[in-house]
Structures are given as C-alpha cells and as structure tokens.
Amino acid sequence: MYSVTTSSLLVGLVALHGANAWGTLGHATVAYIAQNYLNDATATWAKGVLSDTSTSYLANVASWADTYRSTTAGAFSAPYHYIDANDSPPTTCNVDYNRDCTSSGCSISAISNYTQRVGDGRLSAANKAEALKFLVHLLGDITQPLHDEALATGGNDIKVTFDGYTNDNLHSDWDTYIPQKKAGGSSLTVAQSWAKTLITAIDSGTYKSAKASWVASSNINDAVSSATAWASDANKLVCSVVMPNGVAALQKGDLYPTYYNSVIPTVELQIAKGGYRLADWLNKVYAAKIAKREVDGVLVSRMAEEAAPLPPANRPSKAELAREVYGGGCGCDKHRREE
C-alpha cells in the first residue's frame, strides 16, 4: 500500500516535470527584454500587428510557435525551430547553412522568410501576425546552443539526471529546467522579473560593453547571413560550454550543482542576447520595411515583390537520415524536440 502510493507520487512528479514545455519561461523572458528595447514607433506597430496593447504584447505570443508546431496545420514548421549543424562537438563546432539547412527549412531560412513576410503589404493581417509571432519565438530559439546542433538530435537523445530528476534529457534541461531553477518558476511574472535583472545587466552591468557585438552582424538586407551569424555564435558554445568534455562526462551523475553552475552564466547571456537582438531586429524591420512604406506607396509593391530565399535543396541532415533508418512514419516521438 505504502509503496503503491509512493510510486504513484513519483510518477506524478515525473509527469509534472516532463509536461512543461528555450521553454515558456525562456521565450517570455526574451520577449520582455525585447519589449524594453523597442523604440516607440516599432512598439506601436507590433501591438497593432498582434492586436494586443497590453504590457506583455510580445511575451503573450512568445511560445505560440511551439503550440502551432504540434498541430496538424503547423507541423510543417517543426524544423524551423532549429538548425542541425553536422559538426563534431566538442572537437569541432561550426554551422554551414548550405550543409545544415535541409529542403524542409531550418531556423535560418524561416527567420529570413518571416522577416520578409512581416513587411509584405500584400499579405493578410493574420499572415503578418503569424510572421511576427514566428520572429519573436525563433530569435529566442536560435540563441539556445542545442537548437544549433545535430548531435543526438540536439541533445534530445542524451539522457541525463538534473536536480534529482533521472528522466531528463540534455535538450529539455537547457530549454526549460536549468532556466526555471535559476529564475524560480515559469510564469509570466517570473519571466518579467528575470528580464528586469537581465535588462539592468545589459544597461549598466555585466553585458554593458558586449551588447554592441551581439547585433554587429544583424543586417536587415541579408537575413540569412545575420541569422547564420547568430546560429554560429550559439553553436560554438556547444563545444566550449554545453559539452566541453563530451557526452559521456554529462552522464556520470547529477548535473546539479556542478554542471549547472558552470553553464548558468551562459544561459543568462543567451537569454539576454536573444531579447536584445530581437528588439534590434524588429526596430530594423520597422525602419526598413514599414516606416518607408508608410511614406512611399510605390515602395509597397517593390518590397512585396522581394521573394524570400528558399532553403538550399540539399541532402538530408544526419538527424533526418536517422529518422529514416529507424523507420516507421515520421519518427516524431523518438526525435521530437521539446522546443
């Protein structure tokens, strides 16, 4: 009787830990940081596109793309949340857009597509809102190092123990449980307060001098190069911070507290970077595509005709090949990423 109760309780706890799907906390924190750095005209435009004038207008939609990907209509967008860099961590880390972005798309091609679409005057309000929601989410995902890595499906297949939970994988710990341990929860209120701390660090603390370098590669006229630079920046951290001693070293014991302490400065850095970059990118989208359109009707059609570049049609990634080898449908369950 006692043991039955105990095991049901354990099952309950594991389920709770596994249920929460960067997770909602990370994405909302990125969004709140971005809201702080949008200039007034961009903020007004974004609120209009999203039909939300609340104080959480970006945070409210920051995880929409994760809900959408798990619907039938949104399944096509699942590969947009990451790029499977076929490198060899911890020895070599690098992202190669032509090698790593498959014909189904990846974070880089999706950021390029939605950057073009959000400013496309021919599209419906719903399509523009969709594009903005994707940008808010994907500029967060691309700063999470394991969203820029093919190894073990972005770490989803690396079983680890974190903070007493023996049923974790490295990807979801980076997405969700490590950030939640640091911030103390997953609600919008917790995200807002974590964002406030990171905004202070950006304005006058640890990140004050580094922040200019975070947006140095952001060129609104070349979204593919910009997003490739963001992905490469995060991917390097797979070798230096996420698994500097390889995979086996992560599976020797609880990742809390030693590993957690070694990565938490990087987790915070990447969240701060994601928010600051998102604001800078949306300010640039507004200036280059929206403000101009408002003053020059002729420009509308010219902007609209700019086609979004297609992802390179190349061979499938290692992860896709693995899915085929395992066979049976899409292999979604085996390889599904939380984020």
Ligand X SMILES: *[C@@H]1O[C@H](CO)[C@@H](O)[C@H](O)[C@H]1NC(C)=O
Residues 84, 87, 141, 173: which is the catalytic one? 141
**Interface residue list for Zn ion (CB under 5 A):** 66, 81, 141, 339
Question: Per DSSP, what are the bridge partners of residue 160?
Answer: 168
Residues 117, 147, 293, 337: which is the catalytic one? 147
Closer of 117 and 137 to ligand X (Cβ): 117
The count of chain residues that interact with ligand X, using the rule CB under 6 A, is: 9
Closer of 113 and 169 to ligand X (Cβ): 113
Nearest Cα to Cα of residue 174 among 234, 132, 228: 234
Residues 17, 22, 233, 280: which is the catalytic one? 22
Closer of 212 and 313 to ligand X (Cβ): 313
Residue 304 binding ligand X, by CB under 6 A: no
Specify the DSSP element, H or E, that contains 130. Answer: helix 125-141
Catalytic annotation on 22? Answer: yes
C-alpha to C-alpha distance for 258 and 150, rounded to whole angstroms: 25
Q: Which does 310 bind (CB under 5 to 8 A by kind): Zn ion, ligand X, none?
A: ligand X
One residue of 264, 300, 308, 322 binding ligand X per CB under 6 A: 308
Contact (CB, 8 A) for 21 and 339: yes
β-strand pairing of 165-169 with 159-162 = antiparallel
Residue 310 binding ligand X, by CB under 6 A: yes
Residues 66, 84, 173, 233: which is the catalytic one? 66
Residues 27, 293, 323, 335: which is the catalytic one? 27
User: Both ends of the chain: CA-CA distance in Å?
Assistant: 38
Three-point CA angle 8, 10, 12, nearest 5°: 70
Residue 115 binding ligand X, by CB under 6 A: no
Shortest distance, position 311 Cβ to ligand X, whole Å: 6
Catalytic annotation on 81? Answer: yes
CA distances from 111 to 83, 114, 131, 134, 146 (A): 11, 5, 9, 8, 17
| DSSP per-residue string spanning 244-273 | TT-SGGGGSSB-TTHHHHHHHHHHHHHHHH
One residue of 29, 42, 102, 113 binding ligand X per CB under 6 A: 113
Residues 17, 137, 277, 337: which is the catalytic one? 137
Shortest distance, position 144 Cβ to ligand X, whole Å: 20
Shortest distance, position 302 Cβ to ligand X, whole Å: 20
Residue 38 binding ligand X, by CB under 6 A: no
Residue 136 binding ligand X, by CB under 6 A: no
Closer of 89 and 140 to ligand X (Cβ): 140
CA distances from 274 to 74, 128, 134, 202, 245 (A): 24, 21, 14, 12, 26
Three-point CA angle 150, 107, 282, nearest 5°: 145
C-alpha to C-alpha distance for 192 and 143, rounded to whole angstroms: 19
C-alpha to C-alpha distance for 66 and 73, rounded to whole angstroms: 13
Residue 291 binding ligand X, by CB under 6 A: no
Catalytic annotation on 64? Answer: no
Q: Which stretch binds ligand X (CB under 6 A): 36-44, 175-183, 255-263, 306-314?
A: 306-314
DSSP tally for the chain: helices H, then strands E: 17, 2
Question: Per DSSP, what are the bridge partners of residue 169?
Answer: 159
Shortest distance, position 182 Cβ to ligand X, whole Å: 33
Shortest distance, position 308 Cβ to ligand X, whole Å: 6
C-alpha to C-alpha distance for 165 and 161, rounded to whole angstroms: 5
Binding mask 80-109 for ligand X (x = CB under 6 A): -------------------------x---x
Give the residue numbers marked as catalytic: 22, 27, 66, 69, 81, 137, 141, 147, 171, 175
- Residues lying near ligand X in the complex (CB under 6 A) are found at 105, 109-110, 113, 117, 130, 308, 310-311
